[in-house]
Amino acid sequence: MRIIPAIDLIDGKCVRLSKGDYATQKTYNEHPLEVAKAFEDHGIEYLHLVDLDGAKSEHIVNHRALETIAAKTSLKIDFGGGLKSDEDLRIAFESGANQITGGSIAVKQPEVFEKWITKYGSEKIILGADVQDNRIATNGWLETSEHKLVDFIQSYQNKGIQYVICTDISKDGMLQGPAFELYEDLLQKQSQIKLIASGGISIFEELPKLGNLGCEGTIIGKAIYENRIALKDLEHFILSDHE
């Protein structure tokens, strides 16, 4: 299972929110590159980079930070937050993103999102399925749609999507453990998807459990920043996975 630390960006700084609420913003580092380099130094290969300013303004904002991290580390970056147009995507990929994540756009402008899957291929486009009470949420989680989680993912699986980041909003940033039951249920119904678990990771012991469920990757945020999970432990986990 891939370990994918998260860096969330506001004003170019590394921050975390709780349940996606901007009022709960906590800044951890003013230099995201330092954080990314620390991940790389511990054998981590992947990064989930979220443009929270972009999510609010509905177009890419923090592409300079993406460009810097991509240029100065070898991390494979998936980038999301506010990607709404072909131009946003062009900027993201030209700035060094390996993959992009589309959430709200997949709900609100499915024809645009489908075009991206066709143009860039399913290796490059990740479906962001942010869920609240089994419904897909959009616009930085400020709105809830009528789409049910399993049906939503199924519809995009039929259109070629392979990678899905599923975030249980009620768990995100709360350090109370991930949505094990949700992921187990999802993987039983849709065993073909490459499911990336996101939200709620609080202790190291949860990681092997997610791996055993069949998650392809897991995104870890606040647990790293609050020193609940040491980068050294993640390094050992990655090494043992590669053996």
DSSP 61: -
**How far from each other are the two terminal CA atoms of the chain, in whole angstroms?**
13
Is residue 117 helix, strand or coil? Answer: helix
The one-letter code for the residue type at 66 is: L
- Tokens found for residue 65: 């930070």
Annotated catalytic residue 8: yes
pLDDT tens across 89-99, in order? 999 999 999 99
Domain count, the chain: 1
- Which pLDDT value is given to residue 174? 85
pLDDT band at 142 (very low <50, low <70, confident <90, very high): low
- Which pLDDT value is given to residue 19? 85
Instruction: Select from 236, 238, 150 the least CA-distant residue to 195.
Output: 150
Do residues 136 and 145 touch, judged by C-beta distance below 8 A? yes
pLDDT tens across 150-201, in order? 999 999 999 999 999 999 988 888 889 999 999 999 999 998 999 999 999 9
pLDDT tens across 26-60, in order? 999 999 999 999 999 999 999 999 999 998 888 99
Query: What average pLDDT is seen over the chain?
Result: 94
pLDDT tens across 113-126, in order? 999 999 999 999 99
- Which pLDDT value is given to residue 140? 61
Do residues 203 and 178 touch, judged by C-beta distance below 8 A? no
Instruction: Report the b/e string of 126-141 with b at 16+ CB within 10 A.
Output: bbbbbbbeebbbbbbb
d(CA 230, CA 225) in angstroms, rounded, equals 9
Pairing status of strand 143-148 against strand 135-138: antiparallel
d(CA 111, CA 115) in angstroms, rounded, equals 6
Does residue 8 surpass a pLDDT of 90? Answer: yes
d(CA 101, CA 115) in angstroms, rounded, equals 14
pLDDT band at 242 (very low <50, low <70, confident <90, very high): confident
Does residue 141 surpass a pLDDT of 70? Answer: no
The one-letter code for the residue type at 56 is: K
Give the domain range for residue 226: 2-242
d(CA 236, CA 217) in angstroms, rounded, equals 16
Assign residue 218 the CATH number of its domain. Answer: 3.20.20.70
> How big is the CA angle at 170 (ends 107 and 215), to the nearest 5 degrees?
75
The pTM for the full model equals 0.95
Is residue 214 helix, strand or coil? Answer: coil
Percent of the chain surpassing pLDDT 70:
98
Does residue 62 surpass a pLDDT of 80? Answer: yes
| CA distances for 136 relative to 31, 84, 146, angstroms | 32, 17, 7
Among 51, 78, 88, 130, the one annotated catalytic = 130
